Amino acid sequence: MSSVQPLPASEPSSFKKVQKGETLIEIRNLKMYFPVLEGIVFQKAIAHVKAVDDVSFEIKKGETLGLVGESGCGKTTTGRCILQLEHPTAGDIIFEGVNLNELDQKGLIPVRQKIQVIFQDPYSSLNPRMKIGEIIGEPMKVHGIQPDPGKRRQRVAELLSICGLNPAFAERYPHEMSGGQRQRVGIARALSLNPEFIICDEAVSALDVSIQAQVINLLEDLREEFDLTYLFIAHDLSVVHHLSNRVAVMYLGKMVELAESDELFDNPMHPYTEALLSAVPVPDPTTEKQRRHQVLQGEVPSPMNPPSGCVFHPRCPLAVDSCRQVVPPLEEKRPGHWVACTQV
């Protein structure tokens, strides 16, 4: 891998330079409610989908935080709120000491450089009419950090080779590449602006096992080489466990557990996490025969009308009466191990 020269960027003074191990981004009481509209001409909100409901966490520089949960639990919405692709209903997102919710579109421009995203679907996230070189070069053009076309081409070639692709691919179109190669293009594009923080939203979920491992290793290498911080959103628990330092589990818009990766997988404390882990089969027939398989009954309730109290209580094996009324706070039950359950 070749090393990349940092590009000169105009840094507004309000952003603090964060050292490794310090808090890079902090999410405080984030809420994102989507209105459910009725009517065609005169629309009014008849209800709200509580996609993210009072979620707080922080990510340290150089760390990878994994965010897991089933479809509809709000993990992607959390990512989109951080990217300011949604305007949160309430809460603060503090990145390098600046509250992103207080910035206007213009103020967000430097943020868009620092926070990048890698999407799930390598087919729909690349413009089919643009060449790979244009796709990777465009962010640099937009942000004016490499206005000279010759130098930009050079940088694109560099980024392609960092991501394990032949620099000649710059002249190709997305349809000429395989899924794994396209995902590498998506990664090269995210890197083109020398970001601090990358949100990987199901970045390896669409890939076959052997290709997935290649991309996982690439993400790990890039994290080391460029001091990156990741928010790794995925539903595949094995992948999240492998890549993340800490893991947060979400259920129906709430964060139910947060701990060091190995700690969470060895000693899950929240009944939902426990059920989730036991539902994932591990690739070893002998281990599988010995494992206890706890099958969770029922399905995830609608986020439009979530259960009262603890949102997990209708499916919870430990639920008691008080769970129906009291929303359990996320508490530190062991050092660094946070759980939102009154019964553990």
Partner 1 sequence: MAKLLDIKNLRTQFRTSGGVVKAVDGISYDVEEGETVAIVGESGCGKSVSAMSVLRLIPDPPGRIVEGSIEFQGRDLLQLSAEEIRKIRGAQISMVFQEPMTSLNPVLSIGQQLTETICLHLGVSEQEANKRSRDLLGMVGISDAARRLKQYPHHLSGGMRQRVMIALALSCEPKLIIADEPTTALDVTIQAQILELMKDLSRRLGVALIIITHNLGVVARYADRVNVMYAGKIVEMGSAEQVYHNPQHPYTVGLLASVPRMDQHRGKRLVPIEGQPPDLTRLDAGCAYRARCRWAVDRCTAEIPPLEELADKQFAACWRSGEMQALRREAS
Which residues would be at the binding site for partner 1 (CB under 8 A)? Answer: 70-71, 178, 180, 208-214, 216-217, 220, 235, 237-239, 241-243, 261-262, 265, 275-288, 293, 295-297, 299-300
Least Å distance, CB 218 to partner 1, is 9
Least Å distance, CB 263 to partner 1, is 10
Sign of CA dihedral 94, 97, 102, 108: negative
Selection from 273, 251, 278 nearest residue 261 by Cα: 273
Phi, psi of 57 (to 5 degrees): -165, 170
Least Å distance, CB 26 to partner 1, is 25
Least Å distance, CB 265 to partner 1, is 6
Q: End-to-end alpha-carbon separation of the chain, Å?
A: 47
Least Å distance, CB 247 to partner 1, is 10
Which 8-state DSSP code applies to residue 318? T
Nearer to partner 1, 111 or 233 (CB): 233
Phi, psi of 5 (to 5 degrees): -75, 135
Nearer to partner 1, 299 or 321 (CB): 299
Selection from 225, 258, 261 nearest residue 240 by Cα: 261
Least Å distance, CB 253 to partner 1, is 15
Nearer to partner 1, 11 or 284 (CB): 284
Residues ≥6 apart with Cβ < 8 Å to 193: 113, 114, 116, 139, 140, 143, 145
Phi/psi class of residue 258: alpha, beta or left (left: φ > 0; alpha: ψ in -120 to 50)? beta
Cα 89–chain centre separation: 19
- Give the E-state strand segments of the chain in sequence order: 23-38, 44-60, 64-68, 90-95, 98-99, 115-118, 197-201, 229-233, 246-251, 254-260, 331-334, 337-339
Residues ≥6 apart with Cβ < 8 Å to 106: none
Give yes or no for a contact between 116 and 128, defined as CB atoms under 8 angstroms apart. Answer: no
Least Å distance, CB 165 to partner 1, is 12
Least Å distance, CB 114 to partner 1, is 27
Residues ≥6 apart with Cβ < 8 Å to 158: 2, 4, 167
Nearer to partner 1, 15 or 173 (CB): 173
Least Å distance, CB 278 to partner 1, is 8
Nearer to partner 1, 83 or 218 (CB): 218
Residue with tokens 């989730």: 276
Give the type of residue at 117: V
